[in-house]
Amino acid sequence: MGRDEKRARRARRGWVRGLCIWLVLAAAAAAPPARATAKLPPITVTANTALLVDSDSGEVLFEKNIRERAYPASLTKIMTALLALERGKLDDLLTASATAFADMVPGGSTQNIQEGEVMTLENYLYCALISSANEACNVIAEYVSGSVEAFVALMNERAAQLGCENTQFVNTHGLPDENHYTTAWDIYLITREAMKHPEFMIICNTAAKAIPPTNKWEKERALYTTNHLISNNTERQYLYYPAKGIKTGHTNAAGYCLVSSAEKNGLYFISVVMGAREEEETKRILSFVETAELFEWGFANFSVKPLLKTTEQIREVVVEKGKEKDSVMLVPQKNLEALVPNDLEASDVDRKITPNFEGAVTAPVTRGQVLGTISLRYGDREFGTVALVASSDVERDEAQQVAEDFRNFFDRDWVKYTMAGVAALLILYVVFVIVYNARRRRARMRGNYRGNRRRQHRRR
């Protein structure tokens, strides 16, 4: 068997093999998602609305009525603090004006700030977020926007920018108003943005703070947090050590509200509980109780697991015109891990492979060359897409390539037409030469005949 015939048979085998692998990849791509098998133990939440979210991925772990309208009470102050941190400087001096006390009501949360009292923005934020002072929010509003009304408009504008679809603020602090509402999901969006500012979490996670004397207050102000998850100054039964911040809220209309975060075993969650009640028999405030229970439920039932590793061999791909190799293995370009229920294994996750070639790959192939993607999902949840790359180099067979180039060259139409034209010209040339030579021979023969006649005539 000749060398060319062997190469032809090898090429045919490679093409067929490539087609088979392509069909397998296509079938894998069309495969339906894996059937959900993970089961989570139930948890009872009596609050009107509740949410538990993984801080790193944004994955919702638990939800209850998270898009239903609810009164936020002092959770409003998270938005007030966000705008102050975005637009102000912590060491700026703020002076409380008379208009900052215009909408205060008896019995509301306060730090007894006085008209004309001067403090830094940072200390006003401590008053607003730790002890929930309503008047501090109005002082901050006038500092940022010039008036409370302008600041409230800014609050609503910023909420819309953050994707809040069912939120309307009418004041800076959350005192009751039927037109002042939000949802657990929208509060989460606002809180998530505020948490991007390190100063916000430092202030929110402070259990107690001493504010220095001011021009209107001769002694230190002692601030104590209203968040019993992070402090046992007034209540010991709620203390939850993994908790970090964030903000409480309470009115008769809103019930007990709490936004918090917690970190444990390398996991970091954010929770929102709104519309909780006080337990009649025990007098326990259930916003604290159910928030801690949500966190423990999440920590006990979820963990970060590797779903895809770079050492994993995904698919073998045929390589045409390769030197010494006729295939290469595809591997993930990077690892992929995700927070999943504890009983979910990597084998339960559906994989969709999408090649970026048809049939086979043509050499040369370099290690790390992207040849497709793999997408992972479980039920309705998508974990991500990772590039698939060649695990090794495959050099090109130059002799085979030259032969292929030679064949391809002569398969081109213009080359065929040119060769046909050249052949036609050669034929015409040959015909011309034959005819020309024939005529010359006849002419010589006639010349010889006449010469012989003359010589014969002379002899006579």
- Which of 64, 74, 145, 271 is an active site residue? 74
Q: Are 347 and 64 in contact (CB under 8 A)?
A: no
* 375 a catalytic residue: no
Take residue 264 and report the two structure tokens written for it: 């444990």
Which one, of 77, 45, 195, lies nearest residue 141 by Cα? 77
Residues 359, 20: Cα–Cα separation, whole Å: 8
Which one, of 57, 306, 65, lies nearest residue 187 by Cα? 65
Residues 163, 189: Cα–Cα separation, whole Å: 7
Which one, of 272, 244, 100, 97, lies nearest residue 182 by Cα? 272
* Inter-helix orientation angle 398-411/413-459, to 10°: 70
Residue 403 main-chain phi, psi, to 5 deg: -60, -40
- Which of 64, 77, 209, 321 is an active site residue? 77
* 77 a catalytic residue: yes
Residues 149, 20: Cα–Cα separation, whole Å: 69
- Work out the burial of residue 437: count CB atoms within 10 Å of its CB; fewer than 13 is exposed, 13-18 middle, 19 or more buried: exposed
Residues 240, 205: Cα–Cα separation, whole Å: 12
- Which of 131, 132, 145, 260 is an active site residue? 132
* 219 a catalytic residue: no
Please state whether beta strands 361-362 and 315-320 pair in parallel, antiparallel, or not at all (unpaired). Answer: parallel
Take residue 27 and report the two structure tokens written for it: 């079938």
Q: Are 45 and 294 in contact (CB under 8 A)?
A: yes
What are the catalytic residues? 74, 77, 132
